[in-house]
Amino acid sequence: MNNRYSRQELFSPIGKAGQQLISNKHVLIIGVGALGSGCAEALVRAGIGKLTIVDRDYVEWSNLQRQLLYSEEDAKNRIPKVIAAKNRLTVINSSVAIEAIIGDATVVELEDWAQKVDLIMDATDNFETRMIINDVSQKVGIPWIYGACVGSYGISYTIIPEKTPCLSCLLDTVPLGGLTCDTAGIISPAVNMVVSYQISEALKILVGDMDSLRNKLVSFDLWKNQFSAVQVDKLKKADCPSCGNERSYPFLSFENQTKSAVLCGRDSVQIRPSIPTVMDLETLEKILAKNGGTVQRNPFLLSYTLGSHRLVVFKDGRVLVHGTKDITEAKALYHRYLG
């Protein structure tokens, strides 16, 4: 055990002092899909002190091609990703404290979580959540690392409050949208490359070597053999609503928050209750069983399949309606079977 991190400590920019710093740090990862599971494993192997992982979804067969923490057994049993990830990460490094949260990264939760961490890693699958992370980062003063990939393309950028342009500053200049909700598929090398960029920047921040940060937005296409590193420091805007002189944090306001969302490339809609709730899954199972269809339940969620649709109900009241991208239809199914 004494030489567990010896090769990392031999790397002079980290050393023993840096390793001690890493072991005292707390990182928050939003999403434990492809990028999140890769980042989580790298941080756990590097000896991070505490890791908080947040994800609203469960493991499916299509995840196994690129999401390295999960197994066929996880997919068969529809285990929530954070639970499966924590189980695997604990086996990898039992000395790391891992907090697994099944749920959405909403404004209230993110503001609370951000108060307790040293760094936020973006591994989400939607742009709305990224903009909330961006505003929370600026409000609380916590750095975050943006990352996304689709097909063979990937992109990453490190945001340091009060120093670098934030994500809002880049919106008019850099093509950031359309990178996640896409039907183009994904190859694992693109995932691994983005993870490498994110983790290398994360380690610099965790050991306090801010001078070594990249300070550029990096993008690449592995299939087309293309690479770009863009200097974006001049894009910081004094009138930016998120990080400017008179900031209003627009993505933290209620009117910019949605209660329903089409999930990325999933033919599915998530519906989130307007008020916090705790679902009695055992009772719900008995009620739905009377309506026909197929009901399956594990300690974390209930799955109800009827015809071409499947409703997955979590304890916090969130429901994933599979088999439709139409929010109106999804809400109709939600109200029909769940009241």
Under 8 Å between Cβ of 135 and 249: yes
| Nearest-angstrom CA–CA distance, 285 and 281 | 6
Radius of gyration, CA atoms only, the chain: 20
Amino acid occupying residue 12:
S
| Nearest-angstrom CA–CA distance, 181 and 183 | 7
Coil, strand or helix at 212: helix
Q: Which of 39, 166, 169, 181 is an active site residue?
A: 181
Amino acid occupying residue 128:
E
Pairing of strands 144-150, 119-122: parallel
Q: Which two tokens stand for residue 275?
A: 């008020």
Q: Tell me what percent of the chain is helix, strand and coil, each rounded to the nearest 5.
A: 35, 25, 40
Q: What is the 3-state secondary structure (H, E, C) of 33-69?
A: CHHHHHHHHHHHHHCCCEEEEEECCECCHHHCCCCCC
Q: What DSSP letter does each residue of 106-164 carry, written as one string?
A: -HHHHHHHHTT-SEEEE--S-HHHHHHHHHHHHHHT--EEEEEEEBTEEEEEEE-TTTS
Handedness of CA 123, 191, 13, 24 (dihedral sign): positive
Using CA atoms, how far residue 304 sits from 95, 307, 337, in Å, is 38, 10, 10
Under 8 Å between Cβ of 229 and 218: yes
| Nearest-angstrom CA–CA distance, 38 and 194 | 9
Q: Judge whether 243 counts as a catalytic residue.
A: no
Catalytic residues, by residue number, are 181
